[in-house]
Amino acid sequence: MKKTILVFISLIMIFPMLIVLLLSMFSYYRFPLILPQHFTNTFWKTAVVENPLFVSSLANSIVLATCNGICSTVVGIMTARALVRHEFMGKRVVRMFFTLPLFIPAMALFLGVHSVMIRLQLMNHCSGIILAHMLISVPYGINIFISFFQGINRDMEDVGKTLGCTPITLFSRIVLPLIMPGIYLSFSISFLISFTEYFSTFLIGGGNIITFSTMMYPYVHNGDLGNGAVLGIIFISINVGIFYLTEYLSRKKLKIDSYLFE
């Protein structure tokens, strides 16, 4: 019973993408055909090869997402470290509010961010987009590292000190390797958030910085099935690739994990 439900759910999740896959390769889809017919590669040509924005938007997206991944991870580590290991004034406030951006309706949040960006003259700048994306990815990063730091026995760091570690060697030789899986995870989540984010990218980037999602928007808006399908498949394949890469990298560390959190 449970198995049937679970398998059924999986099919529901996967099935729309199967139709999309077909739509990207078959051009003839008149009502009431259930599945499209007439194999073609035109969509791949028009959406990828003949699309002047394809390469540049993809490159923009990857650069922005990578920067966001790095920045959010670093801020996540710093904040989580302070929350788990240090006492300071306002700790409760930080602990309560670090997830705030996720709970503010995105439109209102980003219209505010937009007004600040204008004042700081960060409109149409990559740095502005990265900062906006960080707002919605940092909370996830902090959450990840809070659980990682809590998983490291405080005494483990004391052991390092008694063996002669300075704070810097302690961090690089012991703490960093232990939170490595968290770094992969936080990086990939932040990467994906930035990569798939449409509204803030478009709002802050204006017409100037075209990313993969803003490039795809008109195709969705106009209901361009064939080209939209092609772009979507590429989009999602990249996401899946990132996801697998992360999982592969952190699986190598899995043995540590099970020891750490026992």
Q: Is 33 in the site for another protein (CB under 8 A)?
A: yes
Which of 47, 65, 144, 178 touches another protein by CB under 8 A? 178
- Residue 212, H or E segment: helix 212-221
Determine which residue in the list 51, 123, 125, 199 makes contact with another protein, applying CB under 8 A. Answer: 199
CA torsion, ordered 188, 191, 193, 197, to nearest 10 deg: -160
205 with 211: CB under 8 angstroms? yes
**DSSP H/E element including 39:** strand 37-39
Provide the token pair at 219.
């195709």
CB 231 within 8 A of CB 165: no
Out of 55, 59, 156, 245, point to the residue binding another protein (CB under 8 A).
156
Nearer to another protein, 63 or 225 (CB): 225
Does 38 interact with another protein (rule: CB under 8 A)?
no
125 binds another protein (CB under 8 A): no
Total interface residues for another protein by CB under 8 A: 103
Stretch of 39-47, 49-57, 62-70, 85-93 lying at the interface with another protein (CB under 8 A) = 85-93
CB of 225 to another protein, least distance (A): 7
Rounded distance between C-alpha atoms, residue 91 and residue 98, angstroms: 11
- Kindly indicate which of the ranges 40-48, 49-57, 58-66, 220-228 contains the residues binding another protein, using the contact rule CB under 8 A: 220-228
CA distance 65 to 71: 10
Of the pair 5, 49, the CB lying nearest another protein is at 5
**From the list 60, 67, 101, 182, which residue makes contact with another protein (rule: CB under 8 A)?**
101
User: If we measure between CA atoms, which residue out of 116, 107, 115 comes closest to residue 136?
Assistant: 107
Shortest distance in whole angstroms from residue 66 CB to another protein: 17
Return the structure tokens found at 129. Answer: 């987009």
Which span sits near another protein by CB under 8 A: 44-52, 53-61, 62-70, 99-107? 99-107
Distance CA 171, CA 156 (A): 12
Establish if 172 lies at the interface with another protein (CB under 8 A): no
